[in-house]
Amino acid sequence: MSAGGEFYFDTKVTDILVQHQEVKGVVTKQGDKIEGIGIILATGHSARDIFELLNYRNIYIEAKPFAMGVRIEHPQPIIDRIQYHSEDRGEYLPASSYALVAQVKHKGIEKGVFSFCMCPGGYIVPAATAPGEVVVNGMSPSRRDSKYANSGIVVAIDEDDMLPYQKYGPLAGLQMQRELEQQACQIAAGSQVAPAQLMSDFVKGKISRELLPTSYQPGLQSVQMTELLPENIAYRLKEGFKIFGQKMKGYFTDQAQIVGVESRTSSPVRVPRDKETLEHVQIKRLFPCGEGAGYAGGIVSAAMDGERCAERLAFMYAGRKDITYVSLKENNPSSA
């Protein structure tokens, strides 16, 4: 604010003004035009309207690999026992966490199954962004003191999984994600109640007669998760759980349940940008930024990417030649 910034709260961008392959500004839902020297597009991985807008405006975007699966919830003491090799973690040790990964072959193709955003002493929370869909995510309060440990367990999704959605072009992954989330809503109760199954029943292919207590506030509905999850995801999750049970003795238990669907691990779309200038590959003055554009995977990396984009924009279009322009290529060839 001290540098002259203005915040517009409750102001949705509904269009991007482009002239001669250069952005001029944005249009808001209220119909106001806001013009400027450039746009840092950091609308997050759930801004489906923005991805659709870019596609509609012929601003080049591409489908990007991501991951989908379920969230698994164990009682925290089970994870503590495994990790601390002790019956009780006592007063001083924090709720323990884990990170798991396995490679699982299905129809001759090997893909990763891995834990994502593990939340010790945490909660499973609803994370849908539109009516008629169920999406779950996880969070831990700073005290990490809930009775449960939860984690996303997800399967890598890439081009071959998106083949049935080819007609959606760069929005293939987005459509795949959206359909799964809508089915998750329909198969449960048509509300934020999430479909769930005991992990052991899921692996055996048996519907759970009863579910376990959960941290997920809207509640759970017992379903046969194989009816919801695509076969390639369900198969790899089943095999993954067995492998995880060997890696962490006690992890594979009838005291854990899976909750669906964990579908927003990262953006299913990339908004490509030049590695050096961070400007869109085709449209000048447009700086795709953060998780939604495919350049960050968490709070800190998104914030740092925002800072770098702001520096590039100021350097290139606001005459701020005093801003140190660190070449990403020289600095870190693998970044961006």
> Residues in the site for ligand FAD, rule: CB under 6 A?
12-13, 42-44, 47, 49-50, 125, 127, 137, 139, 290-292, 296, 298-299, 302
Helix (H, G, I), strand (E, B) or coil at 140: coil
Residue 70 vs 296, nearer CB to ligand FAD: 296
Phi and psi at 197, nearest 5°, equal -160, 145
Q: How far is the CB of 151 from ligand FAD (least distance, A)?
A: 12
**Biggest distance spanned by C-alpha atoms of the chain:** 67
Residue 28 vs 224, nearer CB to ligand FAD: 28
Q: How far is the CB of 133 from ligand FAD (least distance, A)?
A: 14
Residue 69 vs 292, nearer CB to ligand FAD: 292
Q: How far is the CB of 44 from ligand FAD (least distance, A)?
A: 2
Strand partners, 333: none
CB 215 within 8 A of CB 73: yes
Q: How far is the CB of 153 from ligand FAD (least distance, A)?
A: 16
Q: How far is the CB of 49 from ligand FAD (least distance, A)?
A: 6
Residue 13 vs 223, nearer CB to ligand FAD: 13
CB 196 within 8 A of CB 214: yes
Residue 45 vs 238, nearer CB to ligand FAD: 45
Say how far apart CA 209 and CA 34 lie, in whole Å: 56
**Strands in 136-238 per DSSP E:** 136-139, 148-157, 194-198, 220-222
Q: How distant, in Å, are the alpha carbons of 72, 98, 122, 198, 210 from that of 214? A: 10, 19, 11, 12, 12
